[in-house]
Structure 1
Amino acid sequence: MANDITQLLRQWREGDGSARDRLVAVLYPELRALADRQLRGERSNHTLQPTALVNEAYLRLSGLERMDWQDRGHFVHMAARVMRGILVDHARRRQAAKRDSGLQVTLTGVDLAAPEAGDVDALALDAALARLEQLDPDKARVVELRYFGGLTIEETAEAMASSPATVKRQWQAARAWLFAALADGGDPPDR
């Protein structure tokens, strides 16, 4: 299956639009589960549904004609990054419309048990993650792959060409940093 995905990515990179469509068909259940996880902590009347999030991500990904796709992990990372952007854009639109305080997401779940963190504003999370990316790009990438991409520790390690132990340490450190950053009202620590 992984070889099939890599082959479809290669064909898409070489300009085969039908390979892109076949790839999305193969990965759709995974992308749908990813979107469902992204929106699970949302209020019940949230206007953005998992299917809409996947469809919007597909539209944005399909516009990346010149992307040098490497493997499944790279594709999922990009899908997670695109979904993050969609969620942040949605929160900005809601905030601009002077409705609620924005899209709420939660940092709990994925793999490691966390203290009750409550909901976090998507814009604050995005700002904190952008700051973390400036300080430590590897930790930020781990967050994107694990939280936004839904990858396991092992899958993240493979995507980053790293060891699972290193990824687990980076994941724990990144989560602790983000919790501190978000607890300080969006003023993330320097390290």
Structure 2
Amino acid sequence: MTATTQLTQIIQDWQSGDKKAESQLYQFAYLQLRHIAQEERKRNAEKYGDDNDVLSDSVNSTTALIHDAYLKLSNSELDNIKTKRDFFLMATKVMRQILIDNARSLQTRKRQALTTIQDDSDKFEQLLIMDKALDSFSIRYPRQSNALKLKYLMGMKNNEICQLLECSSSLIEKDLKFSRSWLQTRMM
């Protein structure tokens, strides 16, 4: 039995009320989310340095992000999760919500403190504009949106995305190129 088949079986057992399967799903989710969060923090440190604002923000710490994501997942409507793909797509949605909520909160605090730094304000505005554009994109182009989320929010490699979305690697590459292009035109 492959890992994907095992996970699908665990999800189905969990959906039918098996408490042992719930524990197995939590362990899988924790390990996967931890790996993704560590990779994202590593990429962020390489790109912006070890002392950047994103790394110092507690919501982006590996453990905090995992726990927040799990709490949101456990309180979400999970009837539609039947496979590993559904699980990862739900996790991307939850992580995106956490990051957007955090950005809004930070923006509100900065406005209240009346010490808003223009650069930070611009970054938060860009994030909120990107979130709205991504919502619109998801409605119009669901497959391409899923590929984009898995790549940039979950940090998956193209071959992993191919397996989850059951598409060829060339189609995923085209979807990612189209997604980036479409979003760039909306962000200008």
TM-score range (shorter-chain normalised) is: 0.7 to 0.9
Aligned partners of 1:87 and 1:103 also within 8 Å: no
In 2: Cα distance, 1:167 partner to 1:78 partner: 19
1:75 pairs with 2:87: yes
CA RMSD of aligned residues (A): 2.5
Structure 1 residue 28: deviation in Å?
A: 2.2
> Structure 2 vs 1, CA of residues 81 and 38 (structure 1 numbering), >3 Å: closer, same or farther?
farther
Structure 1 residue 135: deviation in Å?
A: 3.1
TM-score (norm 2): 0.77
In 2: Cα distance, 1:96 partner to 1:70 partner: 38
Within 5 Å, give how 1:90-129 maps onto structure 2: 90-98=102-110, 101=120, 121-129=126-134
What do the CA deviations read for 1:108-149 (whole angstroms, capped 9, x no partner)? xxxxxxxxxxxx943232122122223322221111111112
Say which is worse superposed, 125-134 or 49-58, in terms of deviation: 125-134
Q: Which stretches of structure 1, 4 residues or more, deviate above 6 A after TM superposition?
A: none
Q: Which runs of 5+ in 1 are unaligned?
A: 106-119, 185-191
Looking at secondary structure, tell me which structure has more helix per residue.
2
> Structure 2 vs 1, CA of residues 103 and 137 (structure 1 numbering), >3 Å: closer, same or farther?
farther
The equivalent residue for 1:26 is 28
TM-score (norm 1): 0.76
Q: Which runs of 5+ in 2 are unaligned?
A: 45-51, 111-115
The equivalent residue for 2:175 is 170
In 1: Cα distance, 2:186 partner to 2:99 partner: 19
In 1: Cα distance, 2:24 partner to 2:66 partner: 15
Structure 1 residue 104: deviation in Å?
A: 5.8
In 1: Cα distance, 2:5 partner to 2:143 partner: 26
Identity of matched residues, %: 28
Report how many residues are paired: 169
In 1: Cα distance, 2:121 partner to 2:81 partner: 33
Q: Which has the larger radius of gyration?
A: 2
